[in-house]
């Protein structure tokens, strides 16, 4: 597996790093200038992929239930606030790095494959998967674009038969994660930067490309392409999509949108606590 080490005298953005790390799977007769880009969490999959991965690690005794609950709360805060506050992003970085620091890349990939099959496969939205398959059937490449670590993102893409994945890139040395990122989290504007960089590399015409997301955080990505679709959208994205004539697809059944935006917790009590925290935090930030 490719190792990515950032030289101190050559800083790179998260988008540039993600594009450089992207590895495309072979595809028969691809459309050379068109592609589709899908967010993962709550767009392709119910809940947060990194949280499902954390649950799988916890079930294997790799960290404690207390650590899992702390991580779940952090995901709720990040999801509800959804801004670019530097302190908040820094905290999210620390949380992400805590998963992999000191671990072997090959071990994380192996665990990712196991946990996807055990926990994540049943959480793929059939409707979103069908949208992706439609692009593949039309000869277009399909990429996942997510803040999830790129190794886990690649596992998801491979399991779904997609072209590849753009994700957050962690630094490695001799096949072991160092606990540092190459660039930054692939979040918000960084996703658009990654897709723009990939388009240059692959010769894509962004006006002929499509993008799918559930979150207003991904407006930079959605606005970059010629065809944007809001999938299971939050309220802000739904309003923006309506105002701009974008397609809206909602595959949620019998669920409140506020709950879809949260990680799927281990038990009912954790879910209730997470929802309560989300509501309180949303009110707090709106009042500021």
Handedness of CA 145, 175, 54, 114 (dihedral sign): positive
Decide if 106 contacts 174 (C-beta within 8 A). no
- Residues 192 and 260: their CA atoms lie apart, in Å, by 24
31, 39, 174, 214: the active-site residue:
39
31, 41, 239, 247: the active-site residue:
41
Decide if 16 contacts 160 (C-beta within 8 A). no
Helix axes 49-59, 150-160, angle to 10 degrees: 100
* β strands within 21-63, DSSP E: 35-38
Q: Is 214 a catalytic residue?
A: no
Decide if 112 contacts 91 (C-beta within 8 A). no
- Residues 75 and 126: their CA atoms lie apart, in Å, by 24
Q: Is 67 a catalytic residue?
A: no
Q: Which DSSP string corresponds to 180-216? A: EESS----THHHHHHHHHHHHHHT--GGG-EEEES-G
CA distances from 268 to 67, 75, 217, 274 (A): 18, 17, 28, 10
Q: Which residues are catalytic?
A: 39, 41
């Amino acid at each position: 597996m490719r190792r990515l080490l950032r030289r101190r005298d050559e800083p790179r953005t998260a988008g540039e790093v993600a594009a450089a790390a992207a590895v495309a799977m072979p595809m028969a007769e691809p459309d050379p200038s068109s592609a589709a880009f899908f967010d993962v969490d709550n767009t392709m999959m119910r809940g947060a992929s990194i949280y499902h991965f954390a649950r799988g690690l916890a079930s294997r005794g790799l960290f404690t239930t207390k650590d899992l609950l702390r991580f779940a709360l952090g995901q709720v805060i990040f999801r509800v606030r959804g801004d670019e506050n530097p302190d908040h992003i820094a905290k999210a970085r620390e949380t992400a790095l805590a998963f992999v620091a000191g671990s072997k890349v090959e071990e994380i990939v192996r665990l990712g494959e196991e946990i996807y099959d055990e926990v994540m496969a049943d959480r793929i939205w059939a409707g979103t998967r069908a949208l992706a398959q439609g692009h593949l059937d039309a000869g277009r490449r399909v990429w996942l674009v997510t803040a999830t670590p790129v190794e886990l993102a690649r596992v998801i893409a491979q399991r779904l038969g997609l072209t590849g994945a753009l994700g957050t890139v962690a630094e490695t040395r001799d096949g072991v994660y160092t606990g540092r990122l190459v660039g930054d989290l692939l979040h918000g504007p960084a996703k658009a930067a990654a897709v723009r960089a990939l388009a240059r590399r692959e010769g894509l015409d962004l006006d002929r490309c499509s993008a799918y997301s559930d979150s207003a955080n991904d407006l930079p990505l959605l606005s970059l392409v010629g065809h944007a679709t809001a999938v299971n959208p939050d309220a802000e994205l739904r309003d923006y999509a309506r105002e701009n004539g974008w397609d809206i697809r909602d595959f949620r059944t019998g669920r409140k949108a506020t709950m879809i935006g949260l990680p799927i917790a281990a038990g009912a009590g954790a879910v209730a606590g997470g929802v309560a925290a989300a509501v309180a935090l949303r009110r707090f930030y709106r009042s500021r």
